[in-house]
Amino acid sequence: MPQALPVLAFVAVLAAAVTSSPSLLPSDPVHIEYDKRSFIINGERKFLFLGSVHYPRTAPEQWPFIFKQVKQHGIDVVEAYIFWDLHEKEPGVYDFEHPFDVARFMMEAHRAGLYVFLRVGPYVCAEWNYGGLPVWLRHIDNMVFRTMNEPWLEASLTFSERVVDHLRDFGLFSYQGGPIIMAQIENEYGNIMSNYGQAGIEYMQYVANYTQKLEPNVPWLMCVQPTAPDVVINTCNGFYCDDFVSSHWQSYPNHPAGWTENWNGWFNQWGAAIAYRPVEDDAHAVLRFIAAGGSFMNYYMVYGGTTFGRKTGGPFIITSYDYDVAIDEYGNKHEPKYSHLTSMHAAVHQVEDILLSTFPSVTSTPTLGGGEVQNYTYSSDVGCVCFIVNNNEKGEGEEKVEIGGGALSIPAWSTTVLADCSRPIFNSATTSTPSTSLTYSTIARLDKDPVFTFVEPVGASKGPLPDPRPSVESPSPLEQIDTTNDTSDYLWYCNSLNLASGTHTIKVTNVANMGYVYVDGQYMAELKYSGSEGGANSASFTTSVSSTQPGVDSGDVELCILSITVGILNYGSFMEKYSVGFLGEVEVDGQSAALKGDWQHIVGLIGEKVNGDGDSHQEADISPVSTLSRWRSFAPPTSSPSSSNVEGRLRWTVNIVTLTIDDISSNEGEDTLAFNASGLSKGFVLINGHHIGRVWPAKIAEGDCTPCSYAGNYDASKCLRGCDEPTQLYYRIPNAWVRAGPNMVVIFDEEGADITSTSIAKVKRV
């Protein structure tokens, strides 16, 4: 029997929801139930294609257009994470307003005819900074993340309740007439649960059962959780999930088999070539899962977008979250992925009545060439549909099978769908739409004199006005995230050394994720990052000291280390222990240095105080008079030679760029502008006060970009492109963030690079 979910008295609730949110389209309540074979929506079995879209990875103005593209792609349900760090920046202070108005996001999905799969977290991973966890959790006494820990349960479940209450207040659950038909708590916890021992098992069971308190009227899922209680549906994540189906049914004979993350592309890291997944393999993986009995599948992602501001995780994940999926970062249809998968969705929906009316019988079918393929046959009173699966990998692996007296070719590593078990309606390896790619044409150069230029001081400012940045002193270096509260990538560690006259070798050890070392304001060394974990980095350099006082054979030098984070770890166990910053020591001539006093820590950059955090999405006042006044009030010239930035590194430039109506026009709603970071080293860019993300065009991609075959099991290193080029050169600018007329472009570059090669480009997919 299908497992029916209790339906509340929804009439009063729906009326209240419509009153509180006039923009919500009135809809009839939706009744959801499920059994082993599928979800049943208002009495009808549905195979559900889902696609992930993250609301902060595009501007709200573009949400309707993205959902239109998603719907036309044949997607039924939008998967939506909730990002805790965006909505509770301070304990107990909740913000669900623009631009992170998740209720509006779901209403727009509803308008487009899409259901919603709510992934409430509170941990999301998502290659997002700290996996979406707010940094203030680290300051709570006795806190241990994601286990049977009272402070964690109090904070995380309180937030989860607040999210569900907020969405319920807007009438967004299906029984209220809204789009949310399923929900998920936690995320891939099964991968790390054993690290917590018995407490991890108890936590998993506790939060699974807690879903019935949060909202008992929709199905709840837990992905990668093979020992989950029966109150939630366990699902698969991965590149392939067909092998999951039979084992899932053995453990959960009354639950449908679901795939919550089909990794139909992959994220990318600075210094690595760009991963892509051939659409032929993606389609083959999906059809294998459906043939085996799977009943719902989510593309992670269907639209990836951009990780604006400082929100990339990793560390060292790039700003673009394009993910090589069907809808590209700007909102364009990425061909042939978009059209090929759209055709597949249509073919599956064409036969879903038959598909979901029964279970498959599986036979090994001999081919005319002496090989074999797998035939998954669904036959019932409703009709017949067959999936012919050829898992041979090599080019000569094409097989021919006899169908209705004729020979049907099945290409290598492909699946063919046969309506009536005789008529081919789709093959995963047969594509007809030409490939498209992005093109960039310059529309505005930043080669004119900037409105204002400012060079950050090394360490604390010695200028005529007080330094506006927080600072703290300590006998030993402090951990960076706890000191900055993640308000900046940058933290200065400064101290004084007394050195005998002469030349000395100084070594700075264990700085993560990366950094620079200065002595008396002069750049000495780079602390280069050491891989994806952002581990310990060290640098050695020589410096000369001469006495400045007669008869004294020594001198004082100021040592300053600029420690830089490049996104906080987004995956793993015991994430509350994750530490970055200057975590080592200073050595002089092979011996531990004798420091003269406490370490001074200066949080962030002076220029960041001028611009704000860049994440508020509030447009800046870009009038030249106001701009100059603001910069001069916060960033006066430095006066002390010992603190001056000798080489002019850490440079800010403020530029005014004029754009026309034609420059910012869009055909349908796609974004059409990008910042070309040519010539820069590493830093970030703000457009009219909006932080478009970290830029690092100097980081060249490494890898093996030999052309790859779609055939054979895929992993993220199999198919690469862009070797020996900047990992990312162009950075998306949402059209909603610019205007016809003057626009302010603020560039911060860590090496003080020349900006005259940078530009604004028009983007098209052709």
Residues marked active site are found at 188, 261
- Beta pairing partners, 41: 32, 44
- As to burial, measured by CB atoms within 10 angstroms (0-12 exposed, 13-18 middle, 19+ buried), residue 467 is middle
**How far is it, in rounded angstroms, from Cα 721 to Cα 433?**
21
DSSP 510-536: -EESEEEEEETTEEEEEE---STT---
> What's the token pair of residue 655?
């530029």
Report the C-alpha dihedral over residues 698, 703, 706, 712, rounded to 10 degrees: -130
Q: Strand 372-380's sheet: what is its strand order?
A: 361-366, 372-380, 383-390, 414-419, 423-427
> 719 Cβ partners below 8 Å, 6+ apart?
275, 276, 277, 278, 708
Number of H helices, E strands in the chain: 13, 42
Q: Which of 277, 186, 175, 292 is nearest to 229 (CA)?
A: 186
C-alpha angle 713-717-722 in degrees, rounded to nearest 5: 130
Sign of CA dihedral 53, 58, 63, 68: negative
Describe the crossing of helices 279-292 and 337-350 by its angle, rounded to 10 degrees: 20
Q: Which of 150, 132, 128 is nearest to 141 (CA)?
A: 150
The amino acid at residue 325 is V
> 197 Cβ partners below 8 Å, 6+ apart?
none
Contact present, 575 and 131 (Cβ < 8 Å): yes
User: Whose structure tokens read 């909202």?
Assistant: 215
Contact present, 494 and 602 (Cβ < 8 Å): yes
Q: What is the largest CA-CA distance in the chain?
A: 106
**How far is it, in rounded angstroms, from Cα 284 to Cα 286?**
5
Distance of CA 511 to the CA centre of its chain: 25
Contact present, 286 and 714 (Cβ < 8 Å): no
Helix-, strand-, coil-residue percentages of the chain, each rounded to 5: 20, 30, 45
User: Helix, strand or coil for residue 296?
Assistant: strand
Distance of CA 597 to the CA centre of its chain: 42
CA–CA distances in Å: residue 79 to residues 55, 82, 108, 171, 662 = 10, 10, 13, 18, 34
Strand 591-592 to 514-519 pairing: unpaired
> What's the token pair of residue 68?
């239109």
**How far is it, in rounded angstroms, from Cα 512 to Cα 51?**
35
> What's the token pair of residue 194?
């054993």
CA–CA distances in Å: residue 739 to residues 460, 658, 761 = 37, 9, 15
Where on the phi/psi map is residue 7: left (φ > 0), alpha (ψ -120 to 50), or beta? beta
Instruction: List the beta strands (DSSP E) in 268-339.
Output: 274-275, 296-303
Pairs from 749-752 (Cβ < 8 Å, separation ≥ 24): 749/650, 749/651, 749/653, 749/680, 749/681, 749/682, 749/683, 750/516, 750/564, 750/649, 750/650, 750/681, 750/682, 750/683, 751/649, 751/681, 751/682, 751/698, 752/455, 752/647, 752/648, 752/649, 752/650, 752/651
